Amino acid sequence: MRDFSSSSDQALLLLGRLDGRLLNSPAANIWLAQARLKGAAALASFAGIPVSVRNLQDWICGRTAPPRHSEGLNDPFSIAALFHFALSATEGHGDPIARATLNVSRSLLDDRKEADLWAPEDLVRFGPLWRMAQMLLEAPYPVASFQTVARRLIEARTSLDMPATEGQLLTTIDGRQLRIEARRFDTGWLLACHLPAALVAAGLALRPLPSLVDLPRFLPDDPEALAGHMATMIARQAGQGLVELDRLEAKLAQLPQLPVTRRSKAPLLIRLELAYPGLGRTAIARLLGISHQGATKLVAQVERLTEGRLSGLGGR
């Protein structure tokens, strides 16, 4: 018990530091944009459709279709649906910075339209379960602790257990009938989607942090064991988040004071490139509300002012 208490205290300490830093950090919006992609990639691995953050960046920046879509893989569902559910899980919590970064992400790639296009069946199949998980995990908690969140997760898993789909009945050429083994869909990733918001509802965090979704693939039945895993995961992710926030703040500090007018879009473009490396000119034009020619000139200006430090800018 002493060991768990120690890991729990360490996790809460690091989580509190990260929460506090994000309140006033000049890189908070960039950090949140990157954390969304990191969290979505973790959820994809959890759900058995692994993709990398780079795969998601390529898709968001318009360089590829949804990851894994054209690879001939027998995925249980589309990454487009998972990405939509992941982004929507931290939506609507009253954080203006999170809302602004989500709006920017959807200006680049609207996850709602992509899910409608690539995965309409998955929205029908998992949408009600996603909403039920949200209702269960964001309901008020009696005590602010990892144990109470763990108990709620275990209870919600029982409520969300999906019955196996009925196996397909096939008739052979000689009249025999065979039934293919039924397929069961894991719903653990749906619970993990809502863990950041659950931590806020329990009073353990100030805002949903999208990278705090790395639950074990098979949730233990013991709340103490699950709480210990959560504490270890949150300590690790919060520690990595602080390191990444330090890196982003240092990156911003290294950039020169740009000799531009107050109306210039160059500083905003620099922040966008840090959040979404490799933005193309078409995406830049759409985000900033300028022409393609204006985007080309702006990219050239930023590269000159930053002395090429943002070398991937305007790649397309």
What does the pLDDT look like over 237-260, one tens digit per residue? Answer: 999 999 999 999 998 887 766 666
In this prediction, residues 271-289 reach a mean pLDDT of: 87
Residue 184 has pLDDT above 60, yes or no: no
- Could you tell me where the beta strands, DSSP code E, fall in 177-234? 177-179
Residue 2: pLDDT band with limits 50, 70, 90: very low
Here the tokens at position 124 are 């029908």
Domain extents for the chain?
A: 2-254, 261-316
Give the phi and the psi of residue 170 in degrees, each rounded to 5: -115, 145
Residue found under tokens 């039920």: 132
31 neighbors 22 (Cβ within 8 angstroms)? yes
38-75, pLDDT tens digit by residue?
999 999 999 989 999 999 998 988 788 888 876 656 78
Total-model pTM: 0.85
DSSP label at residue 265: S
What is the distance between the alpha carbons of residues 106 and 268, in angstroms, rounded to a whole number? 17
What pLDDT shows up at residue 256?
65
Query: Token pair of 14, please?
Result: 């690091």
pLDDT digits (tens, 9 = 90+) for 130-181: 999 999 999 999 999 999 999 999 999 988 875 545 555 666 666 666 655 5
